[in-house]
Structure 1
Amino acid sequence: MFETLTIYFAKKPVPCFAVIITLLPLTLIFVRKAYLDPSFKLLVFYLLLKFAIDIFMVHSAALQKNNIIYYNLSIPLYYCLISGMFYYKLSGTYSRKIVVYSMLVFSSFCIWEIFNANSNIRDLYNHRAVLYSKTIEGVLINSWILLYFYELIKSLRIPNLLNFPFFWVCSGLLLYYSSFIFIAPALHYTATWSGSLDLGVTRIIPYIFEILSAIMFSVGIYHFSAADYAKQ
């Protein structure tokens, strides 16, 4: 198995590096004790889940098994964890309620679309990627980010955004999910296990943004101070 994974890593260095680099912000969260913040605690669960799913996907791909089902199932899970981060950061009660309702509605929609896109749900070999869910996820998460930025700038609470940990996390998420808004629909038609369409360099764009996103997470977590958080 190790030999198979090594060969796959050599063939697909960018996607595999996007998996490995997740360990960087994950490690920093524990080193900097950023998990003291509820939003960063959810970020821990997000990164752990993401790393586990990515490993399963790489392992399945290396063994020539369909891994698209992991991609589909990850969408509602990722959204609930990420939007939960903004539940703790948004100041308005009304905004928080919308976040919670969006989790329920979006998760239900994702489950419906998985079954709708795959008439025979047990046929994992021909399992197809969902058409709308990833794009909607990107739009929703970007909306929460922009709303949070609006509240942050309006409140004038942060003298220097570049030293504010969650600003970097939001920037990383904004960069990553913005790339998926336009690419995700194409995956429904191209991400099939047999006879897939070669998109060339376009195929690795999400992985590049994923790497940049992890780096931004790491910068933000590095700026986290447990002592300053305890004083709040």
Structure 2
Amino acid sequence: MSPTIIVYLILLLIALFIYGRAFSSGKPYIRILFFYLFLNLCLTILSMGIARFGVTNNLFLFHVFTPIEYGCICLFYLSIIGDPRIRRVIRISIPLFVLLCIVFAFFVQTLMENNSYIAIAESILIVCWTLLFLREVLLFNPVTALHNYPLFWITAGILIYFTENLVLDGVLSYLIKNTPSLAKLVYRVSFVFNDIFLIALSIGAMYQVRADLKETG
């Protein structure tokens, strides 16, 4: 197992532990993100498991995971965004995105190919939902100490991670076909952003735990 995977797994397990601690807060977004992180752990374990059986191409797993991931992030934003118009658009986007994933998996980028077009579409949508939430916070719910606000850290992590996906996925798809060795390097670099994402999620959950302790104490 490579050091990048080991670091990623450690950070993922730490994030799961902290979200488990924050679970008692009763916040829907904490529960949604706990489930999302658990799915990430399952995907990682499954990817490593099939590799041990000699399966070198695990890209089909990401065709399955991407619509599930999008659904989880959309549920997260549905639980924290107040504007009913934005909530309606996000809700409608979920089945449409799943349908798009199915169409692309069969007719554009098959299950054995990197689903970069879908990943880019997912990233664009999630970046939009993130920016709309941050706009809502700045306009209607100004926070005096932004660094103490759990959702600031979580949405900042989401924004960084999916902006990186937006940039790297197109490049990665090209490199897989033309320069596989360089594609592996770019893929490893993407783990840095995965780690930043998990750290930001963990910090957000820690601030939620601290807020809960203040309320009960």
Say if 2:30 is the partner of 1:40: yes
Runs of 4+ in structure 1 over 4 Å off? 189-192, 227-230
Stretches of structure 2 that go unaligned for 5 or more consecutive residues are: none
TM-fit CA distance, 1:151? 0.4
Percent identity over paired residues: 22
* Matching residue within 190, 212, 215 for 1:226: 212
Deviations 1:157-209 (A, max 9, x none): 421111011111111111111111021123434458xx971115322121110
Residue in structure 2 matched with residue 3 of structure 1 by the alignment: none
Q: Which moved further from structure 2: 61-70 or 136-145?
A: 61-70
Residue in structure 2 matched with residue 51 of structure 1 by the alignment: 41
* Matching residue within 195, 198, 213 for 1:214: 198
Deviations 1:98-136 (A, max 9, x none): 0111111111101111112456x6xxxxx1122310011
Say if 2:101 is the partner of 1:110: yes
- Would the alpha carbon gap of residues 25 and 228 (structure 1) be closer, same or farther in structure 2, given more than 3 Å must change? same
- Would the alpha carbon gap of residues 117 and 15 (structure 1) be closer, same or farther in structure 2, given more than 3 Å must change? farther
- Would the alpha carbon gap of residues 164 and 204 (structure 1) be closer, same or farther in structure 2, given more than 3 Å must change? same
The size of the alignment, in residue pairs, is: 212
Residue in structure 2 matched with residue 93 of structure 1 by the alignment: 84
Quote the Cα distance in structure 2 between the aligned partners of 1:63 and 1:77.
Answer: 25
What TM-score results when the alignment is normalised by the length of structure 2? 0.89
Query: 1:39 is aligned with what amino acid?
Result: Y
Residue in structure 2 matched with residue 201 of structure 1 by the alignment: 185
SS in 1 for 2:180: coil
Deviations 1:138-164 (A, max 9, x none): 111111111110000112442111101
Stretches of structure 1 that go unaligned for 5 or more consecutive residues are: 1-8, 122-126
- Would the alpha carbon gap of residues 92 and 43 (structure 1) be closer, same or farther in structure 2, given more than 3 Å must change? same
- Would the alpha carbon gap of residues 228 and 154 (structure 1) be closer, same or farther in structure 2, given more than 3 Å must change? farther
